[in-house]
Amino acid sequence: MASPASLSLAGRFGGRRRRVPRRGSGTTIAAIAVLAAIVLLCAIGPLFAADPGALDNANRFAGPSAANWFGTDQLGRDLFARMVAGGRISLGIAAGATVVSMLLGALWGFTAALARGIFDELLMRLADVTMAIPQLLFALVFVAAFGATTAGLALIIGVLLTPVTARMIRSAVLTELQSDYTQAAVAYGASRWRLVLREILPNVSAPLGVQASINAANAIILEAALSFVGLGVQPPDASWGTLLQQGYQKIYQSTSGVIIPALAIFLTIWMLNLLADQLGGTDDVRGRTG
């Protein structure tokens, strides 16, 4: 079909193009591996970690040792066990909030993009208004109104992340709606539902993935911030944010109480952002050879 010259040219271009995602995919795998390790540690940690609530008055502010990997806090509780228990809460809230924000955001964004006109305008101005108010302020109001249970926090944070998500999804859907393949689907007589579920949704999965990991990172930050100011997870439960705050109060007795929760939050968010970056970057190479 093609001459040998153009074949080899296509091959060279194809090779160069393919290397971009391949270089990125190492980072993607690393990010996923670190995140998986964190989740796994939180999942199976309680099997071998000490009881996070067990007090040991003789062993307060102990440094890292074989028995207490991360040392102990002001009540002699094992910090590793507390980090594992706190991670379950932090990551659980982040996961819940991500699911809530993606579902609501998709509903909101798809509706706006498909409705067009005045309804679209209304939905997007509503998003603008909610985005204009600081998230933390919004969170304070919600927490005051509904209380700070773990499930409640996931829901509140999820709702807070929804407007940004909706806005992003709307623009992604609008782009796809203008593409030839959706035009083709309309031309062959696809119904609106078919258009959305079979044609558009699979094609916006990459931006959706990016937004999901950004949302997860933001949810961890928001939860940590709320817990740090005492409005998030309440004692005796402790999220990473609560641990950070408690460690911060005793910073002169033990620095590990601050450093370890902060590192855990930092590492998780870094990996989520890295993942978002990679997912966003590789899909732009929309395989076009020939």
Partner 1 sequence: MSEPETTPLVVASGLRKTFRLGARETLVALDDVSLEIRRGETFGLVGESGSGKSTVSRALLGLLPLDAGSVQFDGLEVTRLKGGELRRLRKRMQMVFQDPFAALNRRQSVAQIVAAPLEAHGIGDRASRAARVEEMLDLVGLGPAYRERRPREMSGGQCQRVAIARALALDPELVVLDESVSALDVSIQAQVLNLLGELQQRLGLTYLFISHDLAVVRYMASTVAVMQRGSIVERGSREQLFRSAQHEYTRQLMSAIPAVDPTAERARRRAARTEAGVSSGG
Which spans of this chain sit near partner 1 (rule: CB under 8 A)? 1-2, 6, 179-181, 183-191, 194, 198-199, 202-203, 205, 286-290
Nearest residue (CB) to partner 1, 18 versus 230: 18
CA distances from 152 to 42, 97, 139, 240 (A): 21, 10, 11, 17
Tokens of 33: 């591996």
State in angstroms the smallest separation of the CB of 12 from partner 1.
16
Please give the DSSP secondary-structure letter assigned to residue 55. -
CA distance 81 to 16: 48
CA distance 59 to 48: 20
State in angstroms the smallest separation of the CB of 187 from partner 1.
5
Nearest residue (CB) to partner 1, 67 versus 115: 115
State in angstroms the smallest separation of the CB of 94 from partner 1.
28
State in angstroms the smallest separation of the CB of 27 from partner 1.
22
State in angstroms the smallest separation of the CB of 26 from partner 1.
22
Contact 249, 228 (CB under 8 A): no
Q: 267: burial class by Cβ within 10 Å (0-12, 13-18, 19+)?
A: middle
State in angstroms the smallest separation of the CB of 7 from partner 1.
10
- Non-local CB neighbours of 203 within 8 Å, separated by 6+ positions: 176
Nearest residue (CB) to partner 1, 183 versus 253: 183
Nearest residue (CB) to partner 1, 1 versus 132: 1
Nearest residue (CB) to partner 1, 117 versus 290: 290
State in angstroms the smallest separation of the CB of 176 from partner 1.
10
Residue 191: HSE in the Cβ half-sphere, 13 Å Cα cutoff: 3
Nearest residue (CB) to partner 1, 78 versus 176: 176
Nearest residue (CB) to partner 1, 179 versus 253: 179
User: If you search the block for the tokens 């709307």, which residue do you land on?
Assistant: 170
